[in-house]
Homo-oligomer: A and B are copies of this chain.
Amino acid sequence: MIYKTYQNLISWGKMSTSKIQFDNFESSYSNRMQSMRSSAVRDLFAAASRSDIISLSGGMPDISVLPLDQVAKAASDSIKEEGLQALQYGSTNGRVQTRQLVCDLVKDFFIKAKPEDVIITSGAQQALDLIGKVFINPGDTILVEAPTYLGALQAFSAYEPNIVSVEMDHSGLIIEELEATLEKLGRASKPKFLYTIPSFQNPTGVSLTVERRHKLVDVCAKYNVVIIEDNPYGRIHFNDEVLPTLKSLDNNVVYLGTVSKVFAPGLRCGCIIAPPGILAKINLAKQGGDLCGSAMCQVMVEHYFHDTDWRGTMKKIIPVYEERKNAILNALDKYFPPEASWTKPEGGLFIWVMLPSFINTDELLNVALDNGVTFAPGSGFYPGGHAKSSFRMAFCFEEPKNLDIAVKRLADVINERLDLYRAFVKAGVLKE
């Protein structure tokens, strides 16, 4: 089954939390600001402070399992042992010790890298921004999965690309669709890169099969398209199989990692592993972007991975996520109408739900919010904001009991809409 996209533009303005006011400087802003849109998830995060609301919208990892005493010691040790480095400016590409740590960690993903192949970034999000800056001229074509991570769309859209989506199914990106798209685009609109999240994708939770991974790197090599592989969720797998990263299959791949889903998002510690030419450009762009990342955060990350049983901590949290995934799937089976379908992820943090095209999940969100539950509407995960009938649920942050309540609340809202839909179908106005 293909996740169909519907060409309906939506009004992002209504999600904005900023008030309308007279702005003296309206004529001063750059053109690119018009192509940038606010994240509904971020806006919800800012807006939803009601304690009775159960949030399925943000992909915040549950960090309650972290050994806070040990993390506090890591923080304190960072200053006691290396305070004058941790508190000072550092090099733009990051501490060599942190870059070495990255090299050690990505061995689990079959990636061979040396510290000089790595740049530490302020979360993988900064990496996305730098990639946009380094590659995209206004109007350049780039490829993304349909749907894809909304933060990537936000980062890239600042550089005004022509974003072309390639369809996915339950085995990930459809390689034939990719080839057909590349053929259709031709040399004149050759994409600058393909952005992909092959493992436990955001927002669908789907993983690219091993066979398709091989085909993907072959096709991109044939058409000389840079692959940007984003792998934030690779360690959150509910079975023992670790799929080969694209980077491990082709060293020309630009690989993005982060500690956000393995340790702590609050340290904003991500990385880029890339070929030397690309890495030099990223470094140049990063100089102007922030001079350097936080050395303090980097030293803390080093201490955490060296001094604590972080693998043990992961072994505690992954079954928690799996239990929650099962709870939300059970609740979907129990409460959701037969017209709905959804993904059944083997890892990661998200489930993707598809409803009949009749339903607009941007509008649904307002009603759901009144009913005490939030989710991320599908439109945010498509360039142009179409696919209004799908939505993303994050199962990572809430207890199973709350997930059950949340899905029930959501089902009530959807069923109410569907009564109308069914009446239309019965009357022959809509096809089933």
Contacts and interface: CB of A to CB of B under 8 A. Distances in A.
Given A89-B260, A294-B294, 11 more contacts: A30-B135, A32-B133, A42-B91, A71-B87, A72-B79, A122-B122, A125-B290, A158-B285, A158-B289, A294-B297, A297-B297
B46 A91 contact: yes
Number of copies: 2
Contacts of A135: 28-30
Interface in A306-361: none
Contact of A76 (B75, B87, B277): B75
A372 to B, nearest CB: 22
Contact of A64 (B84, B125, B140, B281): B84
Contacts of A78: 75
Contacts of A371: none
A87 to B, nearest CB: 4
Nearest to A27: B224
A266 B90 contact: yes
Given A68-B79, A72-B76, A154-B288, A252 B24 contact: yes
A374 interface: no
A36 B285 contact: yes
Given A25-B277, A91-B45, A151-B291, A83 B60 contact: no
Given A289-B155, A291-B125, A294-B294, A266 B75 contact: no
Contact of A60 (B39, B89, B157, B293): B89
Pick the 6 closest A-B CB pairs, nearest first: A23-B277, A154-B288, A87-B264, A75-B75, A72-B79, A76-B76
Interface string A45-89: 110000000000010100110101001110110111001111111
A220 to B, nearest CB: 12
A287 interface: yes
A154 B83 contact: no
A350 to B, nearest CB: 15
A73 B85 CA distance: 17
Secondary structure type dominating chain A contacts: helix
A174 interface: no
A33 interface: yes
A295 interface: yes
B71 A83 contact: yes
Given A29-B134, A123-B290, A89 B265 contact: yes
A323 to B, nearest CB: 20
Interface string A150-180: 0100111111000000000000000000000
Given A71-B83, A89-B58, A192 B133 contact: no
Contact of A288 (B157, B193, B260, B268): B157
Contact-size category for A = 35 or more
Most buried by B among A68, A287, A300: A287
A318 to B, nearest CB: 18
B87 A275 contact: no
13 contacts: A25-B278, A28-B192, A30-B137, A42-B91, A45-B89, A64-B84, A66-B83, A68-B83, A71-B79, A72-B80, A73-B76, A88-B264, A89-B260
B151 A133 contact: no
Contacts of A268: 122, 290, 292-294
A366 interface: no
Contact of A122 (B19, B280, B290): B290
A80 to B, nearest CB: 5
A33 B281 contact: yes
Nearest to A18: B280
A376 interface: no
B46 A129 contact: no
B276 A25 contact: no
Interface in A215-264: 224, 226, 252, 260, 263-264
A296 interface: yes
Contacts of A84: 63-64, 68
